Structures are given as structure tokens and as C-alpha cells.
């Protein structure tokens, strides 16, 4: 009898009863999670033990494939729990995560550091050239061996034990960091009592703030928080300079207040452990250990790449700062431009130069229409269809679910969308696999369940959810990740979908961003929510004319975070590390101008201290070179949806991590990516 047979009442441990493989979110109770993890972990341990104790000679099937197939139940339990934790979490779930994290670290270490298991993997790896493996099978063998070697299988026993302890502590620190950021975000509330203090703020933003205040027990006031949907309109439009400063500083100082939620000590300990871990493997710093699996390979390559883009970005930002200073000086002679002034005066300059007002655009960007536009791009590129599903299980009533099919009706997978902020949701936007794609031993293609999560403006009593152009871009971006997962055709789950090098995984997402700005695409989703009028050509022309506006700021803000990330992970010791002093030193070294604050200051930098992008934030810019070049392949044909080019790009998406990323891109494009396309797009070169 399997372990699952003893737990038939736990909805996390039973096969979903719907036709789409969507987990039974509606049946899961809080008390189900921990027993489900315990059972699923025990089951995977038994599966691993079965591989280890197999007396037959190690083969591709009985060792490598068996390893890939192990842990299906745990995959399902984790897919549900960690998605809900990020998108709809609470204190109870945080407590469960703290219990589960060391359990998962112990399980993973028990697999990776199991010498008998590694010897079986190594036996197959050493014989790989004689086994008649196809390209995907060869990739699975080499990646499996590498995952063992890179995670300690070749270490002596004493270092293996130390590695286990490091991994467990890092897992708990990551949770602590994330919880602190959420707690800091939720703890800060700024109430405005006098509407005169909100002069210039659009009515839609005031209405949202008034609703937030009423919900918080302060009717007749306006509530602002460090969530981007709350404070960004203030930065852009509000004349009240002190309010702009107050909210920006509240956002940028989260986790840096010497209180129970302070993340500075967490960062220092994480860096101590990451450096120690890298040095266990013979690397001087964490960056080179991490980058060995990426396209860039080492920190020197990344540093040179970032410098090549940083220099023109910073020069553009300095020119922009000078123009904004002129505007500010007209209003406040003798005052210097500050970070809380940049967005406000950039918006003024945008209006002056391009007659473009973000508030003029928002009525055309109703959330449901924008999503339909993104779906339409995928339909034209890849021939797939989207159909909304009702009466399927979701973890929150705001989640919507879509069945995805080929043009001929063949089932592709499920896409879930969860777009609005709530107290238990971490900031930002992301895509997750809830259920991964793979093809089993009988040739059955198990199709994925994918989710896109965001934090867009909630509908108010008077308005639907209206997006900014940045929000539109974010929706298309995350949908690009979703397509990477949905279109996957890998045989092995560890190679499917977005299981690719980090500096490649952003290509599909950023590639999709290009489409949201194209006039022929915009006319498929930009309809005035009150009149139904399609966005006029004059507005589209303004958007595209302004496309290179403020790109020095945008790119400098992004790259400074990337360089800061690399500086942390190029440390060879964390002894005496002062987080704030180190940040200042890094920014001074790169020549950062004081009018711009780095996009993510260390104490709320979830990407590198929580979500697995350490020494990897450069990936967004690295992939931007690829996406600009890939989109040029379509533009060169004169057809944004040219069938043959789209077929090649879909093939790239379908491959997931089954091929070397560089080879995949060369196969699609026929040549190396040209960085000039990115620099031209940003207006840094003619």
C-alpha cells in the first residue's frame, strides 16, 4: 500500500477530480498542509531509496529517469502551498513555511548528498556516449549529474554535513527576509485628512485611496501605503512635495528600521553563508559559483556586460536630470532635484514634449481588454485559443481560469490569473508553475497549470481596473513567461517550461513586451472603458514617440540594482559588512547620480535575498539584448506575426531546458544577438 492510500481524505494528496488537473484549492484547509508535506516527503524518500537499493546495473531509465519522476506528489503539494503563500498568505501559512523549509532542505540534501545514489548517476554519466541517447536524454543525464556535482555530491563527508546546515539556515533566512518585507509593507499607513494636500492627484487615485481609508476605519480620509499601486500616482502627479518624499522614503526604507522587521542582519548572515557555500566548492565568491550554470558563466563576463550598457544609460540619465532640474527651478528657484521629484517632473516634461498624459491613457487600458489583447497576440503567433472556465477550484475569488487549446481543439493547459493586491500577497508580479508539463513513460503528455500573479489597481465603485502603460507591459511580460510554461513539450519535468538558465528565462517574457506597443496590437485591446472608442492614432503616435523618453532613468535604476547585486555576490568575505555603507560604496563606485534611487535597495531586494535571482538580476538586461534582437527578426519580415518566424520562436519556447540556451537562440535567429537593437530601442544610439 502506498503512503497516499493512507491519506485519501487530504485534498492535497489526491489526484484532482476536474478534467484540467487543477488542484482542489477549494477543499484545502490550513491543517491539510503540514500532513501533506510530511506524507509527500516520506513518499519521495521511499522512491529515492528504491532507486538506491535497485540491484540492477544503473541505466538511464532506472536511475536518471526514475529520479526525474520521483517526487510528483511533493511537486503538487509544493505547487499549491508556495503559490498560495506568495499570493494569499497569512501568519498561519508563514508558520507552516518555517516548519516545512528545513524539512525540504533536509530532503534535498539527503538526495543530492546520498553517495550511493550519486555513484549510480555517475555510472550512467560516465557511460553516456555509449548509450545511444537522443539530444534531450543526453541533456537530462548531464544536467542531473551537474546538479549533484554543483550541490556537493563530490564533497568530503565533513563538508557535506556543513553544506546541509548552510542550506537549512539559508532556507529559513529567505523566509524571514520575505516575511519582514511583507510586514513592513503592511505596517505603514499614511492618512491624509485634507484633500487640499492631494492637489494634482487624479480623481481615480483619490477614489482608490478614499476606499482604502474607509476600509481601514478612517472614512472621509485618504490612505496611502508602500504598495506601488498606492504611491506611484502620488509620485507622478501630486504637487505636495513633502507627501511625495514621505511615500517614496517609506517604500525605499522598508526592512531598514532597526526593528523586529529589520533585514540588515538577515542580509549579513545570508552573505556569510553564501560565501562559505561557494568556497566549499572552490569558488572565491558566490557569484562565480552561481553563474557557472548560466549563459554568462562568470562574474567578469557579467561585469563587462553591465558596464557596456551602464555607461550610455548613465549619460542619458544625466541629460534627463538636467532637463528636469530646469523645470523644478521654475517652480522652486534654488532647490535641487531630488529622487521624489523625478517622477513628478518627468510626467510634466512628458506632457510638454509629447502632450502625453498617463491619466489620458488609462481609460483605454481596462484590465480585461488588455488581457484579451495579450491572448490575441498568442493566438496570432501560435494558433492557440483561450476559453474562460467557470466553477473550477481557485484559492481566492479574484482568481480567473482559462483553458488553452490549439486551433484544432487539442488541449494545451490551464492559465490562472490573479491580478489585484491584498494584504497577504507579496509585492510585484510573477509566473508560477502550479503543475509542470512532462511526458510519462506511456507517452501521455501531462499538460501544465500555470499562474500569472500581479498587483494592479483594483476596481473601485466608479471605475473598472485601469492600467498604466507600465502595467500593460507587466501583464504582457508575465504572460510571456506563462506561454513558456504552457507551450512546453519536454519529456522530463526538470527540463520543461521555464527550467532554463536564469539569463535566458527572461527572453520569452520580454519578447512579449514588444507587442503591447505595436499600433496594430494596441488597437485590439485599447478601448475606452466608457465609450468603447478604440484608442486614436494620435495617442498611439504619442506613446511611440515617447517610447525613448526617460529611458536613461529607467535603465539606470535597473542596472544599478544589477550592479549592486553583483557587488554583494562578488564579496569574498562578509566580515565587517555594513549593509548601508556597502550600498553607498557600490553606488559611489558606479557613479550613480543622487537624483535616482536604486530600484531595489538591499533590505527589500526580494529578487536576490528571497526568490533565487542572486547574482542574477543582470538577467533582465542580458535577456533584453536577446528579446530586442528576436523581435527584430519579425520586424525584418515586415509582418509582426510572420508564420515561419513564429514557428521557429514557438519551437524555442517548446524546448524549455532540453537544449543549450545559446544553441537554441542561434537555431532560431541564425546568428548571434546584436546588442545594437536594444541600444537603439532605448534611444542611446541612432
Task: Give the residue numbers marked as catalytic.
Answer: 478
Reduced to 3 states, what is the DSSP secondary structure of residue 56?
Answer: coil
Distance CA 642, CA 119 (A): 49
Taking each helix axis from N to C terminus, what angle separates 157-187 and 264-280, rounded to the nearest 10 degrees?
A: 160
Reduced to 3 states, what is the DSSP secondary structure of residue 396?
Answer: coil
Distance CA 242, CA 543 (A): 30
Q: How far apart are the first and last CA of the chain?
A: 69
Residue 533: CA count within 13 A, CB half-sphere: 8
Pick from 29, 6, 43, 180: nearest CA to 96: 29
Residue 323 exposed, middle or buried by CB count within 10 Å (0-12, 13-18, 19+): middle
Neighbours of 304 (CB within 10 A): 10
Distance CA 550, CA 353 (A): 12
Pairing mode of beta strands 400-405, 411-418: antiparallel
What sign for the dihedral angle of Cα 466, 471, 477, 481?
Answer: negative
Using CA atoms, how far residue 162 sits from 152, 280, 665, in Å, is: 10, 9, 39
Exposure pattern of 214-235 as b/e (b: 16+ CB <10 Å)? Answer: eeeebeebbbbbbbbbbbbbbb
Distance CA 445, CA 441 (A): 10
Pick from 88, 75, 92: nearest CA to 41: 75
CB 580 within 8 A of CB 264: yes
Helix (H) or strand (E) holding 209: helix 203-215
DSSP symbol at 386 = E
Helix (H) or strand (E) holding 190: strand 190-192
CB 409 within 8 A of CB 430: no
Distance CA 204, CA 362 (A): 10
**Grid cell listed for 110:** 539527503
DSSP symbol at 534 = B
C-alpha 244: how far from chain center? 27
Close Cβ partners of 635 (under 8 Å, ≥ 6 residues apart): none
Reduced to 3 states, what is the DSSP secondary structure of residue 224?
Answer: strand
Distance CA 425, CA 549 (A): 32
Reduced to 3 states, what is the DSSP secondary structure of residue 683?
Answer: coil
Pick from 513, 577, 596: nearest CA to 547: 513
C-alpha 623: how far from chain center? 13
Using CA atoms, how far residue 461 sits from 207, 219, 389, 530, in Å, is: 8, 15, 26, 14
CB 6 within 8 A of CB 38: no
Pick from 30, 27, 26, 21: nearest CA to 9: 27
Amino acid at each position: 500500500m502506498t503512503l497516499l492510500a493512507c491519506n485519501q481524505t487530504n485534498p492535497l494528496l489526491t489526484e484532482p477530480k476536474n478534467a484540467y488537473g487543477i488542484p482542489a484549492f477549494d477543499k484545502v484547509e490550513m491543517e491539510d498542509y503540514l500532513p501533506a508535506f510530511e506524507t509527500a516527503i516520506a513518499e519521495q524518500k521511499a522512491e529515492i531509496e528504491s532507486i538506491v537499493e535497485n540491484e540492477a546495473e544503473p541505466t538511464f531509465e532506472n536511475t536518471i529517469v526514475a529520479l526525474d519522476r520521483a517526487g510528483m506528489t511533493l511537486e503538487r503539494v509544493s505547487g499549491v502551498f508556495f503559490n498560495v503563500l506568495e499570493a494569499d498568505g497569512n501568519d498561519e501559512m508563514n508558520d507552516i513555511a518555517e516548519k516545512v523549509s528545513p524539512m525540504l532542505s533536509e530532503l534535498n540534501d539527503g538526495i543530492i548528498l546520498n553517495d550511493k545514489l550519486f555513484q549510480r548517476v555517475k555510472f550512467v554519466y560516465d557511460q553516456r556516449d555509449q548509450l545511444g541517447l537522443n539530444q534531450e536524454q543526453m541533456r537530462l543525464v548531464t544536467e542531473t549529474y551537474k546538479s549533484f556535482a554543483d550541490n556537493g555530491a563530490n564533497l568530503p563527508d565533513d563538508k557535506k554535513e556543513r553544506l546541509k546546515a548552510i542550506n537549512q539556515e539559508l532556507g529559513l533566512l529567505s523566509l524571514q527576509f520575505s516575511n519582514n518585507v511583507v510586514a513592513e509593507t503592511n505596517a505603514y499607513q499614511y492618512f491624509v485628512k485634507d484633500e487640499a494636500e492631494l492637489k494634482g492627484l487624479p480623481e481615480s487615485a483619490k477614489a482608490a485611496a478614499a476606499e482604502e481609508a474607509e476600509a481601514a476605519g478612517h472614512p472621509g480620509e485618504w490612505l496611502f501605503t508602500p504598495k506601488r499601486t498606492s504611491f506611484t500616482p502620488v509620485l507622478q502627479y501630486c504637487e505636495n512635495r513633502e507627501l511625495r518624499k514621505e511615500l517614496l522614503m517609506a517604500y525605499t526604507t522598508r526592512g531598514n528600521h532597526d526593528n523586529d522587521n529589520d533585514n540588515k542582519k538577515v542580509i549579513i548572515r545570508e552573505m556569510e553563508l553564501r560565501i562559505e557555500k561557494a568556497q566549499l566548492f572552490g569558488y572565491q565568491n558566490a557569484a562565480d559559483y552561481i553563474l557557472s550554470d548560466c549563459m554568462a558563466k562568470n562574474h567578469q563576463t557579467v561585469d563587462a556586460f553591465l558596464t557596456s550598457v551602464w555607461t550610455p544609460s548613465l549619460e542619458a540619465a544625466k541629460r534627463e536630470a538636467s532637463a528636469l532640474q530646469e523645470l523644478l527651478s521654475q517652480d522652486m528657484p534654488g532647490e535641487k532635484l531630488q529622487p521624489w521629484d523625478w517622477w513628478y517632473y518627468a510626467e510634466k516634461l512628458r506632457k510638454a514634449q509629447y502632450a502625453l498624459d498617463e491619466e489620458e491613457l488609462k481609460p483605454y487600458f481596462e484590465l480585461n481588454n488588455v488581457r484579451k489583447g495579450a491572448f490575441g497576440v498568442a493566438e496570432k503567433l501560435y494558433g492557440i485559443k483561450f476559453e474562460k472556465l467557470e466553477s473550477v477550484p481557485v484559492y481566492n475569488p479574484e482568481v480567473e481560469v482559462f483553458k488553452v487549446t490549439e486551433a484544432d481543439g487539442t488541449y494545451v493547459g490551464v492559465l490562472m490569473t490573479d491580478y489585484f493586491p491584498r494584504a497577504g500577497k507579496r509585492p510585484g508580479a510573477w509566473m508560477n508553475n502550479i503543475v509542470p508539463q512532462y511526458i510519462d513513460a506511456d507517452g501521455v503528455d501531462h499538460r501544465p497549470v500555470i499562474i500569472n500573479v500581479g498587483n494592479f489597481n483594483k476596481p473601485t465603485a466608479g471605475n473598472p481596473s485601469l492600467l498604466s502603460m507600465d502595467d500593460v507591459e507587466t501583464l504582457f511580460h508575465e504572460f510571456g513567461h506563462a506561454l513558456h510554461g504552457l507551450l512546453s513539450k519536454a519529456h522530463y519535468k526538470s527540463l520543461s517550461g521555464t527550467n532554463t538558465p536564469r539569463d535566458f528565462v527572461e527572453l520569452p517574457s520580454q519578447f512579449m513586451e514588444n507587442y503591447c506597443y505595436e499600433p496594430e496590437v494596441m488597437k485590439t485591446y485599447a478601448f475606452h472603458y466608457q465609450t468603447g472608442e478604440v484608442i486614436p492614432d494620435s495617442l498611439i503616435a504619442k506613446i511611440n514617440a515617447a517610447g525613448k523618453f526617460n529611458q536613461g532613468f529607467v535603465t539606470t535604476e535597473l542596472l544599478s540594482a544589477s550592479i549592486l547585486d553583483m557587488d554583494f555576490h562578488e564579496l569574498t568575505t562578509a566580515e565587517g559588512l555594513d549593509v548601508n555603507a556597502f550600498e553607498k560604496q557600490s553606488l559611489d563606485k558606479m557613479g550613480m547620480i543622487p537624483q535616482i534611487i536604486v530600484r531595489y535597495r538591499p533590505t527589500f531586494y526580494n529578487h536576490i535575498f528571497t526568490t533565487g535571482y542572486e547574482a542574477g538580476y543582470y538577467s533582465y538586461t542580458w535577456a533584453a539584448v536577446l528579446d530586442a534582437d528576436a523581435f527584430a527578426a519579425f520586424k525584418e519580415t515586415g509582418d509582426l506575426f510572420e508564420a515561419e518566424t513564429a514557428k521557429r520562436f514557438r519551437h524555442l519556447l517548446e524546448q524549455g531546458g532540453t537544449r543549450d540556451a545559446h544553441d537554441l537562440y542561434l537555431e532560431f535567429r541564425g546568428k548571434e544577438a546584436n546588442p545594437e537593437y536594444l541600444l537603439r530601442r532605448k534611444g542611446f544610439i541612432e
